[in-house]
């Protein structure tokens, strides 16, 4: 099973509302994630994607990025805050993407190993079908050790 398939299956059970919105992984790799959300079924009274849907597709990027980047048998991600700037109306499907450099991933893993948790920030860009940025986010996440893992 690919990381994309694993993420989509996990989302269906862990965040069923996001799955019902049609949030799906396009690319899930260590340090890089892209998810898509469709316009269809997620519109508002203006015929654009509802703001809460854009927030959701951006927020789930943190969990998706953790799947291939960290040992989820020992650690789990939590969102602490997410700030979103809406820039243009989204009148098509939207791609949300974020990334973290390899050295930053190593720092986060080391801090979580030593202290049982580590905080990190993700900047995401949400673009429409024409490549126009419709929103940008800054999310603060925390990688936490499962109880009893020794971290």
Q: Show me where the domains of the chain are located.
A: 3-145
Q: Measured between alpha carbons, how far is residue 91 from residues 26, 32, 50, 87, 111 in Å?
A: 19, 25, 10, 12, 41
Nearest to 134 by CA among 94, 87, 97, 96: 87
The length of the chain, given as a count of residues = 151
pLDDT tens per residue across span 85-103? 999 999 999 999 999 999 9
- How far is Cα 48 from Cα 116, in angstroms, rounded to an integer? 42
How many CB atoms are located within 10 Å of the residue 129 CB? 12
Mean pLDDT, residues 32-60: 98
Which homologous superfamily is 3-145 in? Hotdog Thioesterase (3.10.129.10)
Mean pLDDT, residues 122-133: 98
Cβ-based neighbours of 142, under 8 Å, separated by 6 or more: 77, 78, 80, 117, 118, 119, 120
pTM of the model: 0.94
CB 145 within 8 A of CB 116: yes
Instruction: Quote the pLDDT of residue 117.
Output: 97
**pLDDT grade for 151, boundaries at 50, 70 and 90:** low
């Amino acid at each position: 099973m690919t990381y994309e398939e694993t993420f989509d299956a996990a989302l269906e059970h862990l965040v069923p509302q996001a799955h019902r919105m049609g949030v799906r992984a396009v690319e899930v790799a260590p340090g890089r994630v892209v998810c898509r959300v469709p316009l269809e079924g997620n519109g508002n009274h203006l015929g654009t994607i509802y703001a809460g849907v854009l927030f959701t597709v951006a927020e789930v990027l943190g969990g998706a990025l953790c799947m291939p980047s960290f040992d989820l048998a020992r650690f789990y991600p939590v969102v602490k805050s997410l700030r979103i700037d809406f820039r243009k109306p989204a009148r098509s499907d939207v791609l949300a993407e974020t990334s973290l450099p390899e050295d930053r991933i190593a720092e986060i893993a080391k801090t979580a190993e030593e202290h049982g948790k580590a905080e990190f920030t993700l900047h995401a860009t949400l673009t429409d079908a024409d490549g126009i940025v419709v929103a940008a986010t800054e999310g603060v996440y925390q990688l936490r050790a499962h109880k009893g893992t020794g971290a």
